[in-house]
Amino acid sequence: MYKPDNVKTSPDFPIPDTMRAWVLGDPDQLTLTTKPVPVPKRAEVLVRIDAVAICATDLEIIHHGPPAMIQGGLPYNKNFTPGHEYMGTVAALGPGVDEYKIGDRVTVEIHAGCGQCKRCREGMYTACHNYGLNYGDVDKGHRANGFTTDGGFAEYAVNSINTLVPISDAMSDEEATLVVTAGTAMYGLTELGGLVAGESVVVTGPGPIGLLGVAVAKALGAHPVILTGTRDNRLKIGLELGADYVVNARNEDPVAAVRKLNGGKGVDYVVECSGAPEAVNEAARMVNRGGRICLAAFPGKPAEVDIAYIVRNNIYIYGIRGEGKSATHRAEAFMAQKRFDATKVHTHTFALEDLPTALKYARERIEDAIKVVVKTHGHAAIKSVAAE
């Protein structure tokens, strides 16, 4: 039975020596295999993974490789387990950990910075200067589970205590997997963009981050909140999450529609979540002079941008890579207070052994899939189900 030196365990949470884990071989080739249960070091805990949501970045990693890199190169055929949007239960404590107890329910942030560089000391651990410089040298401290180290398509994972977000028993496993998505929106709106109540916001692209961006913006007091996209079913969910107006970009010019809805003038802030080729230029024409744009999507190829327009109008642009500055904790607080219902973006649930099917649903948007969740322990009988 699992009992590493200097690691605190509990008879109430027995841990096996090995676990089931999906491993990436060649591109798009995942195999369910057995791995040793990892061992937490100083300031780390072992998390029993109870649920993990599928992100579009997971699909990119499994198919293309980047942005994941393992041991200095692409993640293929290196016994790597992807997946990063997971939650679970603290199962064991590394040396010196007393901030958490075995049995605590937590959701996790992806990134643990090195804690030593300039950005980490500012709390911007997603912009850690050692991100990308220390692949294969995990003793440097930087982690990005599911990107540079093993992730959540498994039964257990090791996490730095700095990446843990406590959750209450009232929050379902599925909802808890969405905290980091809401945290990404929170980080872009508050820490980077400085959103204050009463400012006007446009969210472009009703994917999971866009939809929860609408919810967070509204909960923060933004007005009006406008969502643009091309799928009526997702725009409808945006209205349920707090959007004051929605615009179907297939039916009308989104720039003209946004300006009309905001009294003929530009808005204060645009959160760009679509990754469309013209998205940055359209966002620039949606904001007012001195307005801000947050770029939260990864376009498939380099885009042509009208920089002169941006300069003439004193527009500020922020790039965002995931969560940061503990914004995930604030997002969890909003969700715990029921300021918005994040479960509206959860559409399907599968068991761990059905991960390939779950990925197919997410990739092909089968049955209008938005956020697909995979559950592990005690959920072998799960089939594809639509969220209620």
Q: Is the pLDDT of residue 383 over 80?
A: no
Q: Is the pLDDT of residue 20 over 60?
A: yes
Q: What angle do CA 19, 23, 5 make, to 5 degrees?
A: 40
Q: Is the pLDDT of residue 380 over 90?
A: no
DSSP state of 361: H
Whether residues 365 and 278 fall in one domain? no
Q: Establish if 58 belongs to a structural domain.
A: yes
Nearest Cα to Cα of residue 220 among 330, 103, 371, 132: 330
Whether residues 157 and 265 fall in one domain? no
Whether residues 153 and 71 fall in one domain? yes
Q: Is the pLDDT of residue 350 over 70?
A: yes
Q: Where in the chain does DSSP place strands (E)?
A: 18-24, 30-36, 44-53, 85-93, 105-108, 111-112, 143-144, 156-160, 164-166, 201-204, 225-229, 245-248, 267-272, 287-295, 316-319, 346-351, 371-375, 385-386
pLDDT of residue 124: 87
pLDDT of residue 133: 60
Q: Is the pLDDT of residue 139 over 60?
A: yes
Distance of CA 220 to the CA centre of its chain: 19
pLDDT of residue 386: 42
Q: To the nearest whole percent, how much of the chain has pLDDT over 70?
A: 95
Q: Establish if 23 belongs to a structural domain.
A: yes
Higher pLDDT among residues 136 and 239, named by residue:
239
Q: What angle do CA 62, 363, 368 make, to 5 degrees?
A: 160
pLDDT of residue 138: 64
Q: Is the pLDDT of residue 384 over 70?
A: no
Nearest-angstrom CA–CA distance, 110 and 220? 24
Alpha helices in the chain (DSSP H): 56-63, 118-121, 173-176, 179-186, 208-219, 232-240, 254-261, 279-286, 307-312, 327-336, 355-364
Nearest-angstrom CA–CA distance, 37 and 247? 48
pLDDT of residue 204: 98
Interval 57-89: pLDDT, tens:
999 999 999 889 888 789 999 999 999 999 999
**What integer is the mean pLDDT of 146-155?**
95
CA atoms within 13 A on the CB side of 14: 2
Distance of CA 162 to the CA centre of its chain: 16
Residue 219: φ, ψ to 5°: -65, -30
Per-residue tokens: 256:
């003209």
In angstroms, the Cα distances linking 148 to 2, 77, 178, 356 are 25, 14, 21, 22
Q: The domain that contains 263 carries what CATH number? A: 3.40.50.720
Q: Is the pLDDT of residue 240 over 80?
A: yes
Interval 273-320: pLDDT, tens:
999 989 999 999 999 999 999 999 888 788 899 999 999 999 999 998
Q: Which domain holds residue 207?
A: 181-319
Higher pLDDT among residues 129 and 150, named by residue:
150
Q: Pairing between strand 371-375 and 44-53?
A: antiparallel
Whether residues 23 and 162 fall in one domain? yes
User: Can you state the angle between helices 208-219 and 327-336, rounded to 10 degrees?
Assistant: 70
Burial status of residue 47 (CB atoms within 10 A of its CB: 0-12, 13-18, 19 or more): buried
**What integer is the mean pLDDT of 90-106?**
97
Q: Establish if 131 belongs to a structural domain.
A: no
Q: Establish if 127 belongs to a structural domain.
A: no
Whether residues 253 and 314 fall in one domain? yes
Whether residues 74 and 211 fall in one domain? no
Whether residues 191 and 75 fall in one domain? no
Whether residues 225 and 357 fall in one domain? no
Q: pLDDT band for position 137 (50/70/90)?
A: low
**What integer is the mean pLDDT of 179-186?**
95
pLDDT winner (highest mean) among 68-72, 193-197, 216-220: 216-220
Our count of domains for the chain comes to: 2
Whether residues 307 and 362 fall in one domain? no
Per-residue tokens: 356:
């390939």
Q: pLDDT band for position 381 (50/70/90)?
A: very low
| Site of tokens 């993640």 | 75
CA atoms within 13 A on the CB side of 278: 7
Q: Is the pLDDT of residue 212 over 50?
A: yes
Whether residues 289 and 202 fall in one domain? yes
pLDDT of residue 355: 98
**What integer is the mean pLDDT of 119-123?**
89
DSSP letters along 177-196, please? TTHHHHHHHHIIIIIIT---
Nearest Cα to Cα of residue 82 among 144, 147, 177: 147
Q: Is the pLDDT of residue 12 over 70?
A: yes
Nearest Cα to Cα of residue 68 among 138, 19, 132, 130: 132
In angstroms, the Cα distances linking 338 to 147, 171, 194, 219, 343 are 31, 10, 23, 10, 11
Higher pLDDT among residues 141 and 254, named by residue:
254
